[in-house]
Structure 1
Amino acid sequence: MRMILGIALAIMAAMPAAATDSPRVHLTDDTDARWVDFTLTPGNQIRIAMRINGQSAYAVIDTGVSVSVVSTGFAHRAGLKIAATSNADAIGGAITIGWAATRDISLGGLNRRGGRIAVAALSQSATGGDVPIDALIGADMLSCCALDIDYDARRLRLLPSGRLPFRGDSAPLALSQESGVYLSELTLGGRRVRPVMIDTGDGAAVTVTRAAWDAGALAGRPLTSAVAFGLGGTIEMKLAIVPQLRIASLNARNVEVRIEEHSGFSAQTGVAGRIGSGLLQRYRVLLDPRAGHIVFRAGAHVDEAPVRSTSGLLVGLDRDRLRVLHVMANSPAAKAGWRDGDTICRVDGMPVAAGASGNVDTNWAAGPPGEVVKLGMCDGSRRLLTLARFY
C-alpha cells in the first residue's frame, strides 16, 4: 500500500504489520451538534484543537494524508513509544517516520480507540508558519464520515455518511484504493483532469501536472513562479491565474493554478493534481467519499479574486526583518535584481514589526500597480520598487 502522509509528503514504504491493528471508530449520538471551531493558518490550512491520548493538541485537518501523524515533539510529550520506522519520500527530499500505538483520539463527535499513528518531524514552515502543529488528521480517521466544513463560520463537524445538511453543486468523490486519500476531478481549458486529490492540507487553490496544463491548451497564458514548503523541503512551481475551471457542475472563476513539473509530487503519488483549501474556502463544503460526492455551496467570498502579487517578492518574518523567500519570475523584483535571502528592515520608512497576532503587514507586496515602495535593506542600503501586474 502506498501511503501519502503529511503536507506534501508521500510514503513509499509499506506500513509495518504492527501498525495495521484496526482501531475502533465511532460517532457520538449528538455529533450533529458537535461543531469544532477552527482558524485558518497563514498557509490556508484548517487548524483545530483536539485531544490525543488525553493530551491537548493543535492539528491540521488534512484529507491529503492517508495515515494521521503526530509531531516528534508531541509524541515525546504524550509518552508515545515509537515501535517501528519507515523511510519516506517527500517533497524536497527523503525523511524517516515512526509508528506509535495510541489509546484514544477525540475530535468533535468522533472518538477513536486503539490503533497506530505515524510520527514525523512537522516543520513549522510546512504546517502554516505561525504556531507549531502537533498533528495532521487524515483520511484514515475522517473517511468514516461526512465532513461538513463551514469556512465562513470557521467551524466543522463530522456526520454519519449519507447525511446532506445543505444543497449545492455536487462532484464525484472517492477514496484511492492505493493510498486511501480523497479523489475527484476537474475540467481545465476544456479538458478533464483526473484523478485530482481533494487536499484540505494544501493551502494552494489548484495544482496540476505539466501534462494536464499543456493538454488544456493554456500554454500562452502568462506564467510566473511560486514556492511550496513540504515536509522534506521547498520546491518551485509555475503559477498562473485562469478565468475559470469546472468541478463537475461547479464553475469556479479567477482561480490561481500551480503547475508541477513532470517529476513533481502529483506524478509521484499517481494523481493529475490537487484541489486545496485556497479554493475550498470559497464555499461551504461537504466531503463524503463513502456516499461518493463532494457538495459545494457558495460562501461569502465565492467571487473574490485571489490576491495577486505586484512586487514579485514572497517574504517571511525573521525576527525583526523580512527575509525574501522567493523572487517570482518575470516580476518587478526579478527585473530589479532582487535575490532569495535579501533582508528588509524598513518599509516606506517604518521598521518591520510584528503585530499582536505575531504577523507582519505585507500588503504592500500586492499594492496597486504603479505605486513605488521604499524599502530599507538590513545592510543599510535603500531600494525603490515600482509595482506592476505581471501575471
Structure 2
Amino acid sequence: MPVLGFLLPLALASVPPVSNGAEAKDGITLASDSEARWIAFDLTPSNQIRFEAVLNGRPVRAVLDTGLTNTLATQDFATRARLAAGRRQPALAIGGGVEVAWAPGGTLVIGGLTRRGGRIAIPDAPGQERFGADLLIGSDVLSCCALDIDYAVRRFRILPTGRLPFTGTTAPLALQRDAGVPVTEIRLAGTRLRPMIVDTGDGASVTLSRAAWAGADYRGAAISTTLGWGIGGPLVSEVAVVNGFTLGGAALPETELRIEGEGGYSAAAGVAGRIGTGLLLRYRVLLDPRAGRMVLQPGAMAAAPVLRSTSGLLLGAEGTHLRVLHVMRGSPAAESGWHEGETICAADGVPVAGRPIEWSAGAPGRTVALTLCDGSERRLTLRQFY
C-alpha cells in the first residue's frame, strides 16, 4: 500500500526545554509524574503513531509527527471544534506547496504534557481524509522534551530532557535551525548524509533528495517507482532496497530507500532527506534533541527483511473493489500492461472486498488470477524486481 508522508516546515522560534513541574514561557508544562504516564497508540495503515490527546477538554485522534514544525488540524476537525482560523500564509509541504490558516492553540494535553496557548495550523490541502486523525502534533510541542517510543508494545511517553531510560545505539540529534525539527545524520556506503529529519509522521523508512543519492554514488541498486502522499498531495518517487546504511556507527539491515525527484521536498527544505517510521518501528527509540542524542534499541523486527511488492500494483481499497493507484516501473504489472485507475473485484476467484491484499507482495513465482470489475481476467506472475 502507498505510504503517507507529512511534513510542514515553517521558520519559527524553537521551543525552550522544560523540566518536571516547570512551565516554560510558551505555556508547556510537564507533570512531575510524566515518566509514568505511558500513552497507548496504534499504527495507521501508513505507519503513523495514532493516539488519543485532549484539546480544550475534548478527546481528539492525534498523530505524533516530529517532522512537522507546527501542530496541524484538519479542516473538518477545525470546523467541528470551532477553531477560530485567522491569517493565511504559504507553507512548504511534501507533495507541493499549500496555504495554512492559523488558529489559537487552546489547551492541549498529551499524557503528562500540557500546552496552553501556542497556535495550530489548518492547511488548505488535498487528501486530508488520508491523515487518519484530527490533529498532527508537531515539534512546536514535542521538541521541549524527550520522547520514549516503544513500538513493540505500542506505547510512548514524554520525559524531561536528559533522561536515559534504556541503552542502545546512539546517534547525534539536534533541532534544525529555523524549522525546529529533529535532525541527525546517516551514512550510505561510507558517505555522510546530513541533515536528515527524524520524522515520526513519515511512514517510509529512509528518503533522500536526488542530490544526496547522487552524492552517495551507491552501486548495484535495482530501482523502481512508488507512490506516497504528503500534505500537498500525491507524489511519485523512485524506490530501491539497499544495504550499506549505518546510523550512529551501527550497520542497518537492508532498508527501503525512496529517492525524491529533482526539486523535491528535501532539496527545498535544505536537508539531505528523512528517516521515517518504516525504519524506526524496528526499534525502541529515544528522541532527545535537547540532550543531543537519539537512542535505538533493536526490537524483534530489527533484522526482518523488507516487505516489497512482487506484483508492482499499488492498490487502494474502495468498497467492493481495489483500484490501481500506481504501477511500479519495471514490475510484472508494468510489463503486462496494467494501468492506473483499473479496478479489481476478485483474486483467484475470491472477492477482494474486506480481504488482505497479501498476494500483491506474495512469493515470487506465484501466478495470481485477477478478475477486473469489467469481467475480464488477467494472470500475473509475481517476481522480485527491485
Please classify the TM superposition score into its range, dividing by the shorter chain length.
over 0.9
Aligned-residue offset at 1:7: 4.6
Checking the alignment, whether the CA contact within 8 Å between 1:169 and 1:297 is kept in structure 2 is yes
Partner of 2:19: none
Partner of 1:36: 39
Distance 2:272 2:99 in 1: 26
Aligned-residue offset at 1:91: 3.1
Amino acid at match of 1:226: T
Checking the alignment, whether the CA contact within 8 Å between 1:66 and 1:139 is kept in structure 2 is yes
Partner of 1:58: 61
Query: What SS does structure 1 have at the residue aligned with 2:203?
Result: coil
Aligned-residue offset at 1:103: 2.3
Partner of 2:227: 227
Checking the alignment, whether the CA contact within 8 Å between 1:12 and 1:89 is kept in structure 2 is yes
Query: What SS does structure 2 have at the residue aligned with 1:302?
Result: coil
Partner of 1:377: 372
Checking the alignment, whether the CA contact within 8 Å between 1:8 and 1:265 is kept in structure 2 is no
Distance 2:203 2:112 in 1: 25
Aligned-residue offset at 1:370: 0.8
Distance 2:141 2:91 in 1: 21
Partner of 1:106: 109
Aligned-residue offset at 1:164: 0.2
Query: What SS does structure 1 have at the residue aligned with 2:297?
Result: strand
Partner of 1:357: none
Answering whether residue 281 of structure 2 is matched by residue 286 of structure 1, we say no
Checking the alignment, whether the CA contact within 8 Å between 1:7 and 1:65 is kept in structure 2 is no
Within a 5 Å distance, the mapping from 1:255-270 to structure 2 comes to: 255-270=255-270
Partner of 2:316: 316
Checking the alignment, whether the CA contact within 8 Å between 1:22 and 1:115 is kept in structure 2 is no
Partner of 1:168: 168
Distance 1:385 1:244 in 2: 32
Aligned-residue offset at 1:203: 0.2
Evaluate the alpha carbon distance shift between residue 12 and residue 286 of structure 1 in structure 2; reply closer, same or farther with a 3 A threshold: closer
Checking the alignment, whether the CA contact within 8 Å between 1:213 and 1:219 is kept in structure 2 is no
Distance 1:53 1:343 in 2: 43
Within a 5 Å distance, the mapping from 1:337-376 to structure 2 comes to: 337-354=337-354, 360-376=355-371
Unaligned runs of 5+ in 1: 1-5, 16-20, 355-359
Amino acid at match of 2:217: A
TM-score (norm 1): 0.91
Distance 1:145 1:48 in 2: 18
Distance 2:222 2:101 in 1: 43
Within a 5 Å distance, the mapping from 1:182-221 to structure 2 comes to: 182-221=182-221
C-alpha RMSD of the superposition: 1.8
Aligned length: 372
Checking the alignment, whether the CA contact within 8 Å between 1:197 and 1:274 is kept in structure 2 is yes
Aligned-residue offset at 1:228: 1.1
Aligned-residue offset at 1:249: 2.1
Amino acid at match of 2:301: H
Aligned-residue offset at 1:56: 1.2
Alignment counterpart, residue 47 of structure 1, candidates 45, 50, 72: 50
More strand by share: 1
Query: What SS does structure 1 have at the residue aligned with 2:60?
Result: strand
Answering whether residue 76 of structure 2 is matched by residue 73 of structure 1, we say yes
Distance 1:152 1:121 in 2: 35
Amino acid at match of 1:92: G
Distance 1:251 1:11 in 2: 30
Distance 1:242 1:70 in 2: 36
Distance 1:12 1:294 in 2: 23
Distance 2:338 2:53 in 1: 42
Distance 1:121 1:51 in 2: 23
Query: What SS does structure 2 have at the residue aligned with 1:290?
Result: helix
Query: What SS does structure 1 have at the residue aligned with 2:291?
Result: coil
Aligned-residue offset at 1:268: 0.9
Checking the alignment, whether the CA contact within 8 Å between 1:13 and 1:86 is kept in structure 2 is no
Distance 2:59 2:201 in 1: 20
Amino acid at match of 2:147: L
Checking the alignment, whether the CA contact within 8 Å between 1:125 and 1:229 is kept in structure 2 is no
Checking the alignment, whether the CA contact within 8 Å between 1:11 and 1:87 is kept in structure 2 is no
Distance 1:12 1:147 in 2: 22
Within a 5 Å distance, the mapping from 1:79-98 to structure 2 comes to: 79-98=82-101
Q: Deviations over 1:232-273 (max 9, x none)?
A: 111111111112310122221110000112211100111001
Answering whether residue 381 of structure 2 is matched by residue 389 of structure 1, we say no
Distance 1:184 1:221 in 2: 24
The percentage of counterpart residues that share the same residue type is 48
